[in-house]
A and B are shown apart, each in its own frame.
Chain A
Amino acid sequence: MAKRILIADDEPNIVASLEFLMKQKGYEVRVVDNGKDALDAIASFTPDLVLLDVMMPAVGGYEVAQQVRANPAWAGIRIVMLSAKGRDVEVSKGMAVGADAYVTKPFATRDLVAKVKELLGE
């Protein structure tokens, strides 16, 4: 069965590439553009991995990660944070709230795909 990936980002231009890439790699993909929808989608879609943008309207990426980690049922979900904030303090906050990886924009798509594969144990 194909692994499921949730993409939560409010910038359609990056989402387009990510969605295309992930689908090409054979994942089942769903896209949301804010944190609240992301939490709903996590509950209904039960992804294996979330590509989570930090800066989103309403509920931000940090909050989403915290809520995911607060729920033991979702302990298996991998979280990759994507952020335009690249300072050390922000990276360490991302890792602290429960991200498995923190990727600073811009990034090489090859590296991102590799990171996703690694986290999904493939």
Chain B
Amino acid sequence: MNAADAASRGTRQRLRFAVAVAGAFAFVALAATATVLLIAADLDPSQRGALSSMLAEHAPSVVVAALIALAATALLLRPLWHRYVTAPRRLAEDVRIMLAANPAHRAAPGGAREMAALATAVNAFADRHAELARDVDRRIADANVRIEEQRNRLAALMSELAQSVVVCNGEGRILLYNARAMQLLRKPLDGGKAGGAHSLVGLGRSIFAIFDRNLIIHALDTMHERRRQGLRNPVASFVTSAPGGQLVRVQLAPVAGGHDAAGFVLLLDNITRQLESGHRRDQLLQSLTQGTRASLASMRAAVETIASFPDMDKDARGRFIGIIADEAGKLSARLNQTVTEFADSLRTEWPLEDIRGADLIAAARRRMEARLGLPTKVEDVDDSIWLNVDSYSLMQALTYLAARLRDEFAIREMRFALRAAGTLAHLDLVWTGAPLGFETTMAWQSDALEMGGEASPLSLAQIMERHSAEMWYQIDKPAQREYFRIALPRREPEEPPAQPSPATDSRPEFYDFDLFHQPGQSPELDGRPLAALAFTVFDTETTGLDPSHGDEIVSIGAVRIVNGRVLEQEVFEQLVDPHRKMSEEASSVTGIDDSMLEGQPTIDRVLPAFLAFCEDTVLVAHNAAFDMRFLHLKEESTGVRFTQPVLDTLLLSAVLHADLGAHNLEAIAERMGVNPIGRHTAVGDAIMTAEVFLRMLPLLAEQGIRTLGQARAASERTFLSRIEY
């Protein structure tokens, strides 16, 4: 309520009070007049004349009496008015405020006793209501926290999984994935030679860009069929090749949601190596059987021939003995070759896992310190060594040795070393001060492991055999150290382990459940609200500023915005060999020099990958015209066309702040409160532009610019006006 309203309402109230007073006075006056008239009717004419003359004579007194009556009426009416009219009106006003504006407001008890009681009752009611509302709010907040916790737990869990996981909605758009999946589903840019790869996984992207649509639809059909047959947990699986060429076993399971499946989960296993090793085992078997058979046949025939014909002449006998020697030599050579070539395949099938040697040692140290109370140290550990082990049994073995050394030789400290030795790794358990006898070490190796009531059916020797490892005891006299050395095959890690996500509190961006409600993206984008679109925000670095005179792109960085979030884990970052020198200015601004660009993929390889990254999105860049010019000049030579709609943060900034002069990225970022990070790298600039762009969206909405079409129209107007001036 504003001041004018209040004033007019006050005036109205006074008017109504005046009317009420006038009404009451009129009633009293009427009553008095009526009394006079009644009395006059009873009088005879002479008395009536006397009365009227008396009244006329005392007219002023009558008027004064009337005025006194009026004042008395007003005085009498005033408290009554206050108690029975003003008080309920105030109460009504208070209730309105409580309802509409401020639930914490309370009515001031006033007016008659009944009115005060009513106000108190209303207040009590309001208290109760506020309490309820607070309770509801608290529950909602609790529920939200729980949901957020569950989501984060799920995301954390998935990031720990050794399997690759991708969750899609019913349309095949990716809602959730883990870092492993991102790694597995990379596509190398240059046949894998010159490095550089981009992941095809991304929130909101289509899974059909990665796996053949028909393959997945077939699997979905199979799954539905199984479900129809009443199977509780239908799963379909198939083997296919990933974009990077690896063979992948895909298991597909539905995501339950109401009656229909709301989507599906893909579990991916890279089985390339398994298949390879299976194939090698086949080869081994063949080479052993066929090759051996032929040689044995020749030898046996020769031997039997000699035996059957003891009288054969010297030459013939010599020839047959030569054959035997020859074939025996061939057999030996083949055996040696087989053992070296197929060493991996000859190993007993036992579930072994890849682990970094340093991690294994760290775990073993923790275990020794916790179980045995033995202090441990690290002597020399090569961080780059990977092993393929059953880490549980190997750790048991190490702990067992340490326990016996402590119990039987009073060793008070264990040390670890890990070094590479050819194709092997030497894992040493080192101590000082107690030379062991030959028989002791032999006995320890064949005894079943037992310590602290925890027994294992295996002996050290068996554990070593399981790892294709050998173990022995050695004394290094000059250094006064003794050790058990375990020599075991080193393992090249199959793929670099998932990078641990940077330690930030921000929630991981590998999932976005809001995409469950995302309709398919169509080319008819203009009518769609900006907030609902996916964007690729990008930046290029170039050898110079003049593309038409031969300047070239040397770096493309891009990041995507989906559902109003910058997905910083899904970046495109690629250096490009421009086949020409960087200008000095460009080198100093970008920090990119010619040596960094040598051997990088060329633009005709990079642009198709970048186009794939931009699929289904609107492009955003700062001073987009510059970047787009470079891209468009390459259309002819690369055949890659960027036809997506483009928004320019420079123009949008001009739309928002026409009167503020500077529209360079730094100035806008400062105005918008965006911290500059990694400036003048393509990705750094792209991320900064993305943040700026996101903060512009609400400001644009205030100006009524909500859809892509409106944003583009506004940009165009600004652009024209800037050209005009």
Residues of B within 8 A of A85 (CB): 290
Interface residues of B in 268-327 (CB under 8 A from A): 289-291, 293-294, 296-302, 304-305, 308-309, 312, 316, 319-320, 323, 326-327
A106 to B293 alpha-carbon distance, docked (Å): 5
Looking at the complex, which one of A86, A104, A109 makes contact with B301 (CB distance below 8 Å)? A109
Interface contact B297-A14, CB-CB below 8 Å: yes
- CB of A101 within 8 A of chain B? no
- Given known contacts A14-B294, A16-B319, A17-B320, is B305 in contact with A109 (CB within 8 Å)? yes
Interface contact B296-A106, CB-CB below 8 Å: yes
Interface contact B300-A13, CB-CB below 8 Å: no
Interface contact A13-B304, CB-CB below 8 Å: no
Interface contact B294-A84, CB-CB below 8 Å: yes
Interface residues of A in 1-50 (CB under 8 A from B): 11, 13-14, 16-18, 20-21, 24
Residues of A within 8 A of B299 (CB): 106
- CB of A117 within 8 A of chain B? no
Interface contact A105-B296, CB-CB below 8 Å: yes
Most B Cβ at <10 Å: residue of A82, A107, A110 = A107
- CB of A108 within 8 A of chain B? yes
How many A residues have CB within 8 A of the partner chain? 21
Interface contact A110-B304, CB-CB below 8 Å: yes
Residues of A within 8 A of B302 (CB): 13, 16-17
Interface contact B323-A16, CB-CB below 8 Å: yes
Residues of A within 8 A of B301 (CB): 14, 17-18, 21, 106-107, 109
A11 to B308 alpha-carbon distance, docked (Å): 22
Interface residues of B in 315-341 (CB under 8 A from A): 316, 319-320, 323, 326-327
Residues of A within 8 A of B304 (CB): 17, 108-110
Interface contact B323-A107, CB-CB below 8 Å: no
Looking at the complex, which one of B291, B294, B300, B326 makes contact with A108 (CB distance below 8 Å)? B300
Residues of A within 8 A of B305 (CB): 17, 20-21, 109
A43 to B297 alpha-carbon distance, docked (Å): 28
Residues of B within 8 A of A11 (CB): 294, 298
Residues of A within 8 A of B291 (CB): 84
Residues of B within 8 A of A104 (CB): 293
Looking at the complex, which one of B289, B298, B326 makes contact with A17 (CB distance below 8 Å)? B298
Most B Cβ at <10 Å: residue of A16, A17, A104, A110 = A17
- Given known contacts A21-B301, A106-B299, A108-B304, is B323 in contact with A13 (CB within 8 Å)? yes
Given A20-B320, A84-B291, A109-B304, 19 more pairs with CB closer than 8 A = A11-B294, A13-B298, A13-B323, A14-B297, A17-B320, A17-B323, A21-B308, A24-B308, A55-B290, A82-B297, A84-B294, A84-B297, A104-B293, A105-B296, A106-B297, A106-B300, A107-B300, A108-B304, A109-B308
Instruction: Spell out B's residues near A (CB within 8 Å).
Output: 289-291, 293-294, 296-302, 304-305, 308-309, 312, 316, 319-320, 323, 326-327
A-B contact pairs, 30 of them (CB 8 A): A11-B294, A11-B298, A13-B302, A13-B323, A13-B326, A13-B327, A14-B297, A14-B298, A16-B319, A16-B323, A20-B309, A20-B312, A20-B316, A20-B320, A21-B305, A21-B308, A24-B308, A55-B290, A82-B297, A84-B291, A86-B289, A105-B294, A105-B297, A107-B297, A107-B300, A107-B301, A109-B300, A109-B301, A109-B305, A109-B308
